[in-house]
Copies of this chain bind each other. A is one copy, B any other.
Amino acid sequence: MVFSHNYLSRIARDIFKACGTPGSEAEIVAEHLVTSSLMGLDSHGIIRIPQYVNAIKEGTIRPGAKVTILKETSTTAIVDAGYNFGQVGGTRGIEVAIEKAKKNSVSSVIVRRSNHAGRLGAYPQLAAEEGFISMAMCSSIGGGHFVSPWGGKEGRLATNPIAFVAPTKGNPIIVDVSTSVASEGKIRVKQQQNELLSEEWILDADGNPSTNPKDFYGQPRGVILPLGGKQGYKGYAFSLMVEIMAGILLGDGYTPKDIKEPINGLWLMVLDISAYMSIKQFKHQIDGLIKYLKSSSPVDDFSGVTVPGELDFGKMEERKRKGIPVENSIWKNIKELAKKLDVKIEAKEKTE
C-alpha cells in the first residue's frame, strides 16, 4: 500500500488527538513520524503510531503534560517533559537551546522524563534551519540496554546515538548514527525475514559471536556489539560519552532499577556560527568541503561519495512524489486503531 504523506499526517494527527493529545502536540508528533517515513527511516516512522497509542493507554506517555524548565542559567537548562511524547520534549528542548544560543552564542540543554525521541537528527535540524550548528545525544534509561560494554557479554548501554546538523547552501548535513554496530530494529527485521546477521553484530548469551538473530532474542538474551568491530572499544567510548551527557546529567539514574519505564534522555547543544564567521562564509566553506569530499573517485559498488543526510533527502523527494509505502500488516494495525478511536479513515492509496 502506498499513501501520500499529507494523508498519513492527517491520520496520525487524528489518532493522537483521539487519545486526548492536544492539537499542537499531535501536530508535532505526526509531522515528526511522517518526516522520518518520507526520509526512508521507516523504523522511526509511522510504524510507531501503535506503540505510542499503547504507551498513552499505559500512562507512560502523558499527552498534554506540562513541559517545564527545572533549572537554568543563561546558557543551560534542564527541561522536564513530564512524561509527554519524546517529540514534544525534544522540540521544546531545542527551542530553549536556540533561544539561549541566540543570546549567548552557545547553549547546552538536557531533556528528562521524555518518551521515545524518534529520529534524533530532527532536533538539531530545527536549529540548523535557523542557521545554527547543533549536536544531540540520546540515552535510554531504565531499559533498552542491549549493547555490551567493550569486553563484556551483558548489555549495559543502549544504542546511544549521536546527531549533528550543520546548515549548507542546500539541504543541511545530518549526521545521525548510533554508537552500536546496529540497532535492535535492524536485527528484528532480519529475524522476520529469516536472514542471517553480518558478522560482528551480536554475541549470544554466552558471549560467543553469532550471526543468528535468534541468539539475540534468546533466553537469556544476547547483546549487540558497540560500533567498530575489532575497534569496538571506540564505539564503546562514544557510547559512554552519550551515557554521561544525555543520561547521568539528567540526575534520574542509569540502570533499569532506577526507572520503571524506559525513557529517553536528551542532550542538545546549539552553537551560533556568527561567533566565528559570517553564516555566508560558513556556507561557502561547507560547499567547498562537500565538493572536495565528492572529488574522491568512488570504489566499486558506489556511484559516488555522498554526505550524511543526502540520501535521506533524496528519498524524501521521491516519496513526496510517489508516496510512502506502508506494509500491509502495519496498515492493518493503524486501520484497526483508527476504527477503535472513531477516526475517519479510507484507504486512499496514492496514485501518481
Interface residues of A (CB under 8 A from B): 71, 73-76, 78, 104-108, 110, 133, 135, 148-157, 162, 164, 166, 173, 175-178, 181-182, 198, 200, 203, 207, 227-231, 233-238, 240-241, 243-245, 247-249, 251, 253-255, 269, 271-273, 275-277, 281-282, 285-286, 288-289, 292-293, 295-300, 302, 304-308
Contact = CB atoms under 8 A, between A and B. Distances in A.
Contacts of A281: 251
Contacts of A282: 248-249
Nearest to A152: B296
A71 B164 CA distance: 24
Contact of A285 (B74, B155, B254): B254
A105 B249 contact: no
B244 A234 contact: no
Given A166-B244, A248-B286, A76 B276 contact: yes
Contacts of A230: 198
Contacts of A151: 298-299, 302, 304-306
Contact of A251 (B162, B276, B288): B276
Contacts of A298: 151-153, 207
A71 B276 contact: yes
Given A237-B308, A276-B76, A153 B299 contact: yes
A73 B105 CA distance: 7
Please give the count of copies of this chain that the complex contains: 2
A227 B237 contact: no
Contact of A244 (B76, B286, B297): B286
Contact of A275 (B71, B156, B304): B71
> What's the dominant secondary structure at chain A's contact region?
mixed
Given A149-B305, A251-B276, A299 B227 contact: no
B107 A297 contact: no
A276 B305 contact: no
A286 B249 CA distance: 10
A289 B254 contact: yes
**Residue picked from A155, A247, A297, A298, most chain B C-beta under 10 Å:** A298
A275 B73 contact: yes
A254 B156 contact: no
Contacts of A305: 149-152, 156
Given A152-B293, A249-B277, 4 more contacts: A71-B276, A240-B307, A248-B286, A248-B289
Nearest to A165: B241
A151 to B, nearest CB: 4
Contacts of A240: 173, 175, 293, 307-308
A244 B175 CA distance: 12
A275 B267 CA distance: 13
Nearest to A304: B151
Contacts of A295: 154, 156
Contacts of A235: 227-228
